[in-house]
Structure formats: structure tokens, C-alpha cells
A and B are shown apart, each in its own frame.
Chain A
């Protein structure tokens, strides 16, 4: 088996040639960094993606606050995660990096808030 995979680890978008020499044994070619091989292996075995979205807050000053998964989550969990997120209401204030959902459905993936609100201007 031979397959070309475009790495999504960063905007470089390396083209990685994956060859399955024998069942379960893969050889990777073309990545500029080691993350490429890890990505290509996962893409073949269990593809994952980082999910970003916004969740409603309880304030009109900042009606929605952005979130992300702190690591890529298996694709099959994307839909259930989005459905869960749209049911939530986030209390303010928020802090960038604060965990909103811990270990979603046993995936080991946390959902974290990505924007601090309100901001304290010190002068």
C-alpha cells in the first residue's frame, strides 16, 4: 500500500509518502519534522482533529467565548462534542487556558477557553 498524506500539524503542510512494507509496518518520507511521521501514522490508523468553536456566555458584553480542544480528538467524537458545547452556558469572567470540560467522554481530551474576558487594563 502506498498513500500520500498532507500533514496538518502545522501550516507547512508537508506531503508525506506512506508505504506499508508489511501489514502494520509503515515507512514515512517527506516530513520536515518528526511530528509529520506521528501525524501520518495516526491519519492511517485513527484520524484526529482539533475542534474549535464558540460557546454562549451569560453576559451581553461578550455573548460568545471561543474554545478549543487541547489536543486532537478522534473524528468520531467531533459531532457529540459540538452538540454538548452548544448546550452549555459559560459564566464570566473567563481566563484563557481555563478548562471548560475535563476529559471529554474518556478521550483524555480537555476543552479549554481561549479568550480572557473581561481584560484588566492596568493604567
Chain B
């Protein structure tokens, strides 16, 4: 089998993969980037709407434009690009890691690398994850697949559409379908509040008078060959009240019910997964349980803004460079715990040698909230936060001086974040 040797192998050429590869390549590390699609950019080229890049570039870009800022740099750099290429497995618990790959251009081949960046992104939850009863006709898609059909391939998935779930992709698709001449009858959300960004509720639903049914579920799908109707049932005190079920006649049903980090490859390589995020457990260097294997972007935890993906991926590339240069091989770290009202805090370790940036998600909706950082009973830092909701990730930083007191007998004690 043909073998190729690199310093760094980046798996996935979306926002995360490109940003981390550019960082490592710029520092002189010989870098390869692989992607199973025939183009660079990951999911971005199909996200033709705007709203990307506000934090990173201080301007509002569309998905393809945001991707192109990175793509143009990648194609000009020394990074070796392998498109239409799939990684089938990897051996990572050794100093030189091995990945087996295949592509129509190169056949089956092997890449040896000193470090690997996992940047495979995530995929959509689908009907099977929800277990909706009824027949199995055609016309049922995930929202992202419908987005690909319309924006890349130019097919309209249907004319009368019901969308399940108020995630951002679903909301964006409600407007997109309306603009292509389809009729969006309803968005059905199981939770009592919308899952997507507020701006998308306004500009995608309210602008076009599309009703949003909160605390409702699709209780049945009807139709033999093609979807003909769906039954919608309100939830009352958490249970469906079937006496209030109503029917909407439609030919298409889209699911926008959340994303799952895509970690089959990670798990098969024996890397530990965090059940709260669905992504690998990482330390303060964004390094997984396998030494020299890093993770960033949606494969690590699902982000709501690509700006944060790029930011995290650049940090990941930076940490990787420091690691290969031997600067952070031995680093003192302590555990990080997600306490009250927090779904998760990432990374799962902190350090006192440098500042720490944490990403986290709330379990509650609150206009004004207080985030406490504790060690035992002692509160070491307090943050006041505004407009907290599960749909929007937020970040805080802890500086070495915030954390100094946490060393007891040379050990770093766990810190706990809690929100109220």
C-alpha cells in the first residue's frame, strides 16, 4: 500500500478543518487535509444565507463567502488537499499515527502523521431518532438534505411543507422554500420555546406569517407513496392530548431536530467520548484521550455560529503546534465540572499556566443570569450574563490570576461552573 508521511493530518475540510490546517501549515508543519466531498468548505457552500462572519470578519457574509475566505488561503498554501477521500480507520495510540484512506484518484493508501486533527463535523438527527409513527412514504427529508437539494443540486423537494423542529436549519429552510415558491404550512416544536436563533424566528417565520406551534408534536405521518398529511398534537403538562389533534395536508415533511457530532471514526479508534456533547473528551489543549489527536468544531460539540468553530479550530492548530514543539507535553491540568443549569462546559480540563476559554450551554432560558465558578464552597469568579438560552452557546475566560488559589499540595482541584 502506498504510504505518505506528514506532520499533521486534518480529517474534514469544513470550517474547522481548514482553519486548523492553515494554522499548522503556516507554522511550517507539513499538513494534509482530507474530505469525502468533491469540494472544500464542508457544509458552508450549501448555506447560501447570510449571517456568517460577524464576529470573525466583522462583516456579514453568506456561507459560500465565509468558506471562500479560507478556501482561497488553503489552495495557495502548502497544504496537500485530498478530496473525494474517506478515512476508513486509524491507529492513534502510538507516536506516529496511521490512517487508512481511500479515494477514486489514489485508491487505498495510508497516511502517517505525528498529530491528527478531528474535524469531521456533525450530522442531522432524523425520523428514526424521533420514532414518529405512521407510514413510510417518500417526501420525508432532513432540513439540511433539503437545503443541499435546493442550493447545490437545484431540486425542489416539495410544494406543501411541514417542518418538524425549530432549529436554525429548519427556520432558514422555511424561508428558502417560501422564496422558491413552495408553501410552508407550519413549524412544529416539541419544546415550549424555539430552538433556533431569535433573528431566524423573526426573518424566516414572522416575515412570511408561517405559524410556529410550540409544545406540539407530529403524532402521525399519513400517505402511501408520498406524504399526504401529518397529524399534529399539542403537549399538555408534558403529555400529548390526542383529543386536540389536528391534521395538515402536505406533500413534504422536513426534520430540523438537532445535530449529532459524527464520531464513529473517533470511537472505533478507541478515543473517549463525552456523553453530554457527543464529542470526544478534550483537555485544555483540545487534545482527546489519545495523545497527539486533537478535535475542534462540530465534531467536538455542536456550535450555533461558524465564527466560534473557526476560532476554536485556530486555537486547536495553535495548541497542536505547541504540543509538537514539546512546549505543552507535560502540563498541569485540573478537572472542569458542569454544575447547576448547564448542559456542558468545554474543554473538560483547565490549566493555570495560561488563560482558559470555556464554551458552554445553558439548560434554562433567562434574561439575566449569574454564572458562578466554584472550588468547593468558595466562589472564585462571578460573571453576569444576558439573554441566556439553550439555543445560544456562550463563552467565558478565566485568567491564571483567577485560578491561582486552586492549587492545594501541588494538585489542581476541580472547578465547577453553575448558572442561576
Contacts and interface: CB of A to CB of B under 8 A. Distances in A.
Given A82-B179, A120-B75, A53 B48 contact: yes
B76 A52 contact: no
A82 B65 CA distance: 20
A52 B197 contact: no
B51 A10 contact: yes
A119 B179 contact: no
Contacts of A10: 51, 54, 60, 199
Contacts of A121: 75, 81
B50 interface: yes
Contact of A114 (B39, B40, B62, B75): B62
Contact of B68 (A12, A64, A82, A116): A116
Contacts of B51: 10-11
A11 B64 contact: no
A34 to B, nearest CB: 13
Interface stretch (B150-158, B230-238, B398-406): B150-158
Contact of A56 (B152, B154, B202): B154
B72 to A, nearest CB: 8
B199 A66 contact: no
Nearest to A64: B154
B71 A119 contact: yes
Nearest to A50: B50
Interface string B153-188: 110000000000000000000000001000000000
B64 A49 contact: no
A114 B65 contact: yes
A122 B45 contact: no
A53 B176 CA distance: 8
Interface string B250-261: 000000000000
A82 B208 CA distance: 15
Interface string A105-123: 0000000001110011111
A11 B199 contact: yes
B207 interface: yes
A8 B172 CA distance: 14
A29 B198 CA distance: 18
Interface centre among A50, A53, A66 (most CB of B within 10 A): A66
A63 B45 CA distance: 13
Contact of A63 (B72, B75, B153, B199): B153
A6 B199 contact: yes
A11 B62 CA distance: 13
Given A96-B65, A114-B48, A122-B76, A64 B199 contact: no
Nearest to B198: A13
Contacts of A51: 179
Interface in A1-22: 6-13, 15
B203 interface: yes
B13 to A, nearest CB: 12
A64 B203 contact: no
B150 A54 contact: yes
Contact of A6 (B50, B151, B202, B304): B202
B49 interface: yes
Given A13-B198, A52-B50, A114-B64, A8 B203 contact: yes
Given A52-B48, A53-B179, A115 B202 contact: no
Contacts of A12: 54
Contact of A13 (B78, B152, B199): B199
Interface in A71-123: 75, 78, 82, 96, 114-116, 119-123
Contacts of A119: 39-40, 71, 75
Contacts of B203: 8, 49
B1 to A, nearest CB: 24
Given A11-B51, A115-B65, 11 more contacts: A6-B198, A6-B199, A8-B199, A10-B51, A10-B199, A11-B197, A13-B197, A52-B49, A115-B45, A119-B71, A121-B81
Interface of A: 6-13, 15, 49-54, 56, 63-64, 66-68, 75, 78, 82, 96, 114-116, 119-123
25 contacts: A7-B199, A8-B199, A9-B60, A10-B51, A10-B54, A10-B199, A11-B54, A11-B197, A12-B54, A49-B203, A50-B50, A50-B60, A53-B48, A53-B179, A54-B48, A66-B45, A66-B63, A96-B64, A96-B65, A114-B62, A115-B45, A115-B64, A115-B68, A119-B40, A122-B76
